[in-house]
Amino acid sequence: MKYLLPFCLVCSTLRAQAVGISYVYGTGQMGAATTTIAPIYVFVFDKDGNAVANSPVTWTVTQGAPGLVNPPPQTTMSNANGIAMSYSPAYLVDPSQSYLLVEVDARGVAGNPVKFLFTSLATTASVEVLKPDQDHVRVINTSVGAIEKAAYQVAITASDGPQGGQAIANVGLRASNVIPVKGTSGFYDLTYLNDPGLPSAACVNNTLSDADGIATCDMQIGPRVGTTKLYMVVGEDRVMPALTLIVGVGAPAKLSISGGSGQTGRPGEKLALPLRVRVTDSGGNPTVNTSVGWTVLSGSAVLAANHTVTDVSGETSNTVTLGATPGPVRIRTQINQATFVEFDLTVTSIVSGVQVVSGDDQSVLPGATFPNAFVVQVLDGARAPLAGVPVTFTITAGGSVSASSVTTNASGIASVFATAGPDPGPVTVTATAQGFQAVFSKLMVFPPGPLVSAAGIRNAASGEAGLTACGLASLKGVGLAPGVDGVVRSPDRRTTALGPVDSITVGGIAAVLVSVANQDGVEQIVMQTPCSVIAGPVEVDVSVLGLTSSVPSVNLFAIQPGVFEVTDDAGHKLVWATHADGSAVNALSPATRGEVVRIFATGLGPFSDSPDSPEAGLLTNLILGINDAGVPMVRSGYLVDQPGFYFVEVAIPADLGAGASNARFVIGEAPSAGADLVYSNTVVVPIR
């Protein structure tokens, strides 16, 4: 028999259609023929096994008293918990019989019917306890979760009448750990079947009496340990003398982790926390002295023991020393092949550094993906690559990376791609592993088109803002040299397009391009200002990769003298000058007193047209000075084959101050007769 516990089987949202009904309680009852039997119950369920409310169940008497008309079918509705209930009326027993078997079928809107069997008694029934067979020792000694086959048996017969002594079949049997109490209805109160806080047992399998009238209870022992009284109820009509139920801890059935999983440590390190498990029986009671096996399933680790034994709390533990190989570790603990748990641990690597492999020195437009991957390598203390190390990648300026974390491969390599943010400017990508970083710092996001201002257009020698006809100018800005790494130089003196630069026009006239550079994050174009432009404010248009930016009102001067400088090996800035043989004047080969040296400059103004000569004479007058004193000019001119380059030749005074190792040189020039002089930058001339 099955019994209602306590009137709620599956409490859930009730929306689906009923697909069947199942037995809950009521079959196997017996009682006086003049007494209505106790309620009978079924459960209405949907395709998922959930309760269905308001679903009709029809109850039909299919076998009753011979010669009598059975009552009409009765229909009841399932309640919110899917339970449908009915009562079966009493049947008078024919005088030729001592009892009568009644059958009732319950049928839902779908599925198979459920059959209920009842016995109406003309007089009484006799119930004899067959097992346990000693009235004075009615004790069942067992353990949690056990099934005690045929733990209790009774024989049920008719007491008297025409069938007196005859076996009665189809009478039910159940167990309860509380004294069954009949309510005001005259039936046993089904809400008090068992006290969950006490040891308990339930009759399972078929508990209806057989053709010999013998009802058998195979006892399924509940989850509680201890001693209690157990009451056996026959046919919901008779409570038998109490049994004593003694329940001990059951066999080990459940295994759970109680601590230690998820730890990480370095190679060779003993983990701080032991791995701990708890073993219980099926009722959750701790089992003592249970052997537990431990195995390293994967990864690098050593266990202190292969087997341990549980203590009084059902717990046991093991310690772990991590191995030399970084990566995940999985350890299995089991009490048998079917019952196990697994611990997940991690051996972290000892990182000593992260280095850039490739991906620096890139530039893109806003929102574009950098063409090359950002690749780093993680190394240990011996500078060997480390596999299995998580590397975190971040990017500045609103950009994004293809993965925020990447684990190094067998070569210690991790890489991502990166996409620039919306704003132009420098960008940094950083790779981090265990506190060590590698930084990609030479990244640039260019605006959609070149970005340059009047302040970024200057004399290529003196650095003064502005332009001069025929002179060399330097343009610095953003987006001037996308894709250039280093310097791209013009192959001849007529180049007006170079590298990514489509053109530069000054006052609408194309300029000759000398070089395009992108060095240390600085983008620069060197050009010769067209000789035909007229002094005054002009517009400069810069076109790069099909995009053009205009700079209005750039000052263009008639003259703007500038003397070129070079930086020697010691980092000193010196004049760009040569001896008569063309060799460079420098600290190792200084100019001598009385020597004529050639000094290179730009912005010295107009020159005469000399198509057959590599040098053209200047049309302006120059004033030269050394150490604040005028010195005579030997010769000056414009280098026809070197766009924008001028020269002056000057004799170093023989009487230049004794002991001096350097002289200060400057060029002065008047833009027109009577105008104030315009001076160049002052440069240093090494002398001896």
Which tops the pLDDT comparison, 281 or 572? 281
pLDDT, position 34: 67
**Residue range 190-227, pLDDT digits in tens:** 655 678 889 999 999 999 999 999 999 999 999 999 99
**Residue range 36-58, pLDDT digits in tens:** 667 899 999 999 999 999 999 99
**Strands ordered across the beta sheet of 40-45:** 20-25, 40-45, 83-86
- The answer to whether residue 637 scores a pLDDT higher than 90 is yes
Nearest-CA neighbor of 117 among 186, 23, 188, 205? 23
pLDDT, position 253: 96
Q: How far apart are CA 218 and CA 234, in angstroms?
A: 14
Q: 496 lies in a domain?
A: yes
Query: Is residue 496 located within the same domain as residue 601?
Result: no
pLDDT, position 348: 81
Q: 404 lies in a domain?
A: yes
Percent of the chain that is helix, strand, coil (3-state, to 5): 0, 50, 50
Q: 112 lies in a domain?
A: yes
Which tops the pLDDT comparison, 4 or 526? 526
258-262, 429-433, 546-550, range with the lowest pLDDT: 546-550
**End residue of a domain, out of 121, 155, 187:** 121
Query: Is residue 504 located within the same domain as residue 590?
Result: no
CATH number at residue 408: 2.60.40.10
Q: How far apart are CA 580 and CA 596, in angstroms?
A: 7
**Structure tokens of 278?**
């708890």
Chain-centroid distance of CA 56 in Å reads: 51
Amino acid at the residue 38? A
25-39, 353-367, 551-565, range with the lowest pLDDT: 25-39
CATH number at residue 624: 2.60.40
Q: 3-state class of 353 per DSSP?
A: strand
**Residue range 61-78, pLDDT digits in tens:** 888 766 566 778 899 999
Q: 553 lies in a domain?
A: yes
Query: Is residue 259 located within the same domain as residue 244?
Result: no
Q: How far apart are CA 530 and CA 467, in angstroms?
A: 10
Residue 183's CB is within 10 A of a number of other CB atoms, namely 11
- The answer to whether residue 12 scores a pLDDT higher than 70 is no
Look over the chain and give the mean of its residue pLDDT values, rounded to a whole number: 90
Measure the CA dihedral 467/469/473/477, to 10°: 50
pLDDT, position 9: 40
Q: How far apart are CA 349 and CA 378, in angstroms?
A: 10
**Structure tokens of 64?**
């009753």
What domain range is 486 assigned to?
454-557
Confirm if 309 and 287 have CB atoms less than 8 A apart: no
Q: 76 lies in a domain?
A: yes
Q: 541 lies in a domain?
A: yes
Confirm if 36 and 71 have CB atoms less than 8 A apart: no
**End residue of a domain, out of 517, 538, 557:** 557
Q: What is the DSSP string of 414-435?
A: EEE-EE--SS-EEEEEEEEETT
- The answer to whether residue 276 scores a pLDDT higher than 70 is yes
The residues near 382 (Cβ < 8 Å, ≥ 6 apart) are none
- The answer to whether residue 668 scores a pLDDT higher than 60 is yes
- β-strand 662-669 against 678-679: which pairing, if any? antiparallel
Amino acid at the residue 459? N
- The answer to whether residue 578 scores a pLDDT higher than 50 is yes
- The answer to whether residue 234 scores a pLDDT higher than 50 is yes
Where does the pLDDT of residue 89 fall: very low under 50, low under 70, confident under 90, or very high at 90 and above?
A: low
pLDDT, position 6: 38
Query: Is residue 237 located within the same domain as residue 317?
Result: no
Taken as a whole, the chain contains a residue count of 688
Which tops the pLDDT comparison, 632 or 65? 632
* DSSP E strand stretches across 418-500: 418-419, 425-433, 436-445, 457-459, 467-468, 472-477, 486-489
Query: Is residue 114 located within the same domain as residue 134?
Result: no
Query: Is residue 624 located within the same domain as residue 682?
Result: yes
**Residue range 583-614, pLDDT digits in tens:** 999 999 999 999 999 999 999 999 997 767 88
Confirm if 218 and 151 have CB atoms less than 8 A apart: yes
Q: How far apart are CA 487 and CA 644, in angstroms?
A: 18
Mean pLDDT confidence for 420-441: 94
Query: Is residue 229 located within the same domain as residue 273?
Result: no
Q: 222 lies in a domain?
A: yes
Residue 41's CB is within 10 A of a number of other CB atoms, namely 23
Which tops the pLDDT comparison, 4 or 453? 453
**Structure tokens of 453?**
């201002």
**Structure tokens of 123?**
């007089």
The answer to whether the Cα torsion of 543, 547, 550, 551 is positive or negative is: negative
Query: Is residue 587 located within the same domain as residue 535?
Result: no
**Residue range 98-155, pLDDT digits in tens:** 998 989 999 999 999 999 999 988 888 999 999 987 665 789 999 999 999 999 999 9
Distances (CA, A) of 116 to 208, 228, 625: 11, 32, 128
- The answer to whether residue 1 scores a pLDDT higher than 50 is no
Q: What domain count does the chain have?
A: 6
Mean pLDDT confidence for 528-543: 96
**End residue of a domain, out of 320, 347, 374:** 347
Where does the pLDDT of residue 553 fall: very low under 50, low under 70, confident under 90, or very high at 90 and above?
A: very high
Which tops the pLDDT comparison, 681 or 569? 681
Where does the pLDDT of residue 5 fall: very low under 50, low under 70, confident under 90, or very high at 90 and above?
A: very low
DSSP code of 268?
T
Nearest 5°: the CA angle 66, 71, 76 is 140
